Amino acid sequence: MERPKNRFLNELAKGLGDHLDKEEILREYESHIDEILFELGVQDVDIVYDSIVSRLGTSEEIIQIWRDEFSVTPSNMKWLFILLNVLFFGGGSLLTLAHNVYQWKWLTAAWNHLTAIPTLIAILYLFFWALLGYEIGKGFGHNGRVLLNKTFLLSLIPNLILMILTVFQIIPHSWFAPLLTKTFIFACILFTIILYPISWIGYQWGRKASV
C-alpha cells in the first residue's frame, strides 16, 4: 500500500521543485492519501493509485493549481477586504451621524431596528472575518499566512479608531444610545480580541478546501 502513496508523493515532489512550502504541502497531501488508504483497505496497487488520483487529481493538476496560486495578486485580495471593512464602518458612521443630526422618521425606524439586534450584527461581523481567512486560505494556501496577518492588521484600523474615539468620548456616548452600555463596551473589546482567532480558523478551513 505504500508503493502507490510513495509514487504519487514522489511525482508531486518533483513537480513542486524548490517551492518554499514544499515539505508542508507534501505532508498535507500525505495525510489525505493516508485517509484514502484507510478507506480502501487492502487492494491492488494499481487500483489504489488510480483511486488516489481520482480523489486528489493527478500530480500535474495539483502542481498547476499551486502555480496558478501565484498568479493571483495578494494585494487585490488584501485591499478588497480592507475596503469592505471600511465601507462597513463608514456606512455605520454615516447612519449614526445622520440619525443624530436629522430627525427623519424612516432613519429613526432603521436605527431602532438595528440597535435591537446587536447580537445578530456581531455574528454577521464575525462571519465576515471568518470569510476573510477562508478566502485567503483557499486562494493562497500555505503562502497566505503573511497576507492574512497584513490584511487583518490593516482591516482592524477602523475598529481601533472607532474604539478610541468612543472610549475617550470624542464621539458623544449619547449618539450610540441605547447600545453603549458597559456590557456592550466589554463585548466589543472581547469581539475585537477574538477576531484574529476567528480569521485563523477560517484560513485553516480555506487551506484544506484548496487541497
Q: What are the grid coordinates assigned to 32, written together?
A: 489525505
pTM above 0.75, yes or no: no
Tell me what the pLDDT averaged over the chain comes to.
Answer: 78
pLDDT digits (tens, 9 = 90+) for 143-185: 678 888 888 888 888 878 877 776 677 766 666 655 566 676 7
Convert the pLDDT of each residue in 66-118 to its tens digit: 666 555 556 666 777 888 888 887 777 777 778 777 778 888 788 778 777 77
Cα separation, 94 vs 181, in Å, equals 21
Classified as helix, coil or strand, 72 is coil
Question: How much is the average pLDDT of 19-28?
Answer: 77
Residue ranges covered by each domain of the chain: 2-70, 73-209
DSSP 80-131: HHHHHHHHHHHHHHHHHHHHHH---HHHHHHHHHHHT-HHHHHHHHHHHHHH
